[in-house]
Structure 1
């Protein structure tokens, strides 16, 4: 199979998987607010037994308004079946939304104790291990949690697990990934907005991250990804796992043949 055919096949497979995830959304057990905006909502998925941990799951979609958390609900439900209390938040998205998106992450971090207290049947959830997981564009704020140390003020130090993340905003903008999605999200190019990129880009901020936080951060990426280049993760200083044969949505699809590798990554 030549490279052109392989690329086309991967693109088709990604779209088919996304369509399937969207066609079978899972309803949350409850939805809680975390702020005043219409997007300040968190869907809660409860395990059937006492929770073994909490997963804050940040969905992807290149920060575009047209893509919400719906496609991530099958993953949230499956993680709940595995014993995790899963929080799937919405957040503000759109062109130039970087400051508000990152502001929503700060708000989520501050509201997390209250959200866990309000979540039904959560028990002592505030004392459980916390994993901040994000897929694709959602992998960017997940990594930003780690570089900024969000959630380190109280309770367990969060583990950061980024799935096929946009790990390098500057590189992503310069390469035009997602049809210019990074520059749209930031409101301009790295050359036009150097200070904004220096603040928002996990790759640019890596040198300031202390070693104890670096050890909590990992990324996973499929080598057939045609939406976010796998090289962005492979070249990142964040410890990474490359899954052979996996495309962009395999890493959030519980029905994927690569699901066992994703589970091991998220839970270990």
Structure 2
């Protein structure tokens, strides 16, 4: 396995780490899985949250593109953050092949995001004018309805920092950024959520999947009994194991309910 730092823009936070499998481990060409870390869209959190998962993906024979992006406190609010995620996705078709000695399957790009990163993952998957249309998106404990989260004590403060305005003053920007209000995306989606998640309740993913399916999307919820928000970062958890399955299996959306 190898790791290469790739800058997809001129700003300090516009970079990612590309992890590649050993040639003997990889079918050619290899799919690309783009990883978007969470952490309240804040500079207090970094791409190292997703490093262990990226390494595991590369060990299993795919290319992992673990991206950093401008965040609140690191040169970014919504305009910069969303632009960076779109640019990082486009880089899978432009920059990554230049840095990869292994051929990449550019028709098979997948996106995995955790928490705030899941909001960004499902949001960018819904960008129909994107240079790259992902083959699937995996939401881990996703914040998928920012309009509703703006009414919570913690969510209201965090989202005002992200958008620079409260919900009452500009509800449309909250709706435009909320995956729940952007269905259908046309992209198959697996939502994973711990049943014991106290930070972002699993009910939000449940509502998203119901609305996505009603709108004609292929979407499924895997609700994980006994686990919570940060179990996705624990390689010994059921949430970790299911995330690998959602990212790698040929048709993970064929399974639903508790897993």
In structure 2, the partner of 1:50 is 26
Q: What's the offset of the Cα at 1:131? A: 0.6
1:127 is paired with a residue whose SS is: strand
In structure 1, the partner of 2:242 is 261
Sort the Cα spacing of 1:157 and 1:88 in 2 relative to 1 into closer, same or farther, 3 A. Answer: closer
Q: What's the offset of the Cα at 1:149? A: 2.6
RMSD: 2.2
Q: What's the offset of the Cα at 1:121? A: 2.0
In structure 1, the partner of 2:120 is 141
Asked if 2 retains the 8 angstrom alpha-carbon contact of 1:106 and 1:150, the reply is no
Task: Tell me, yes or no, if structure 1 residue 70 matches structure 2 residue 48.
Answer: yes
Question: Which deviations, in whole Å up to 9, do the C-alpha atoms of 1:119-160 show, x marking residues without a partner?
Answer: 33231x043521111111000110112222364x45x64311
Report the Cα distance in structure 2 between the residues aligned to 1:120 and 1:218, rounded to whole angstroms. Answer: 28
In structure 2, the partner of 1:196 is 173
TM-score, with length taken from structure 2:
0.82
Q: What's the offset of the Cα at 1:191? A: 1.3
Q: What's the offset of the Cα at 1:106? A: 2.2
Q: What's the offset of the Cα at 1:33? A: 0.4
Which range moves more in the overlay, 69-78 or 94-103? 94-103
Report the Cα distance in structure 1 between the residues aligned to 2:239 and 2:69, rounded to whole angstroms. Answer: 28
Report the Cα distance in structure 2 between the residues aligned to 1:28 and 1:192, rounded to whole angstroms. Answer: 47
Which range moves more in the overlay, 184-193 or 135-144? 184-193
Q: What's the offset of the Cα at 1:177? A: 4.0
In structure 2, the partner of 1:176 is 153
In structure 1, the partner of 2:143 is 166
Give the structure with the larger strand fraction: 2
Asked if 2 retains the 8 angstrom alpha-carbon contact of 1:178 and 1:227, the reply is no
Asked if 1 retains the 8 angstrom alpha-carbon contact of 2:224 and 2:238, the reply is no
Which has the higher relative contact order, 1 or 2, with Cα contacts under 8 A spaced 6 or more apart? Answer: 1
Give the structure with the larger helix fraction: 1
Equivalent pairs, count = 234
In structure 1, the partner of 2:257 is none
In structure 2, the partner of 1:227 is 199
2:84 is paired with a residue whose SS is: helix
Report the Cα distance in structure 2 between the residues aligned to 1:148 and 1:183, rounded to whole angstroms. Answer: 23
Task: Tell me, yes or no, if structure 1 residue 101 matches structure 2 residue 78.
Answer: no
Is there any run of 5+ residues in structure 1 with no aligned partner, and where? 1-26
Is there any run of 5+ residues in structure 2 with no aligned partner, and where? 213-218, 250-259
The runs of at least 4 aligned residues of structure 1 exceeding 6 Å deviation read none
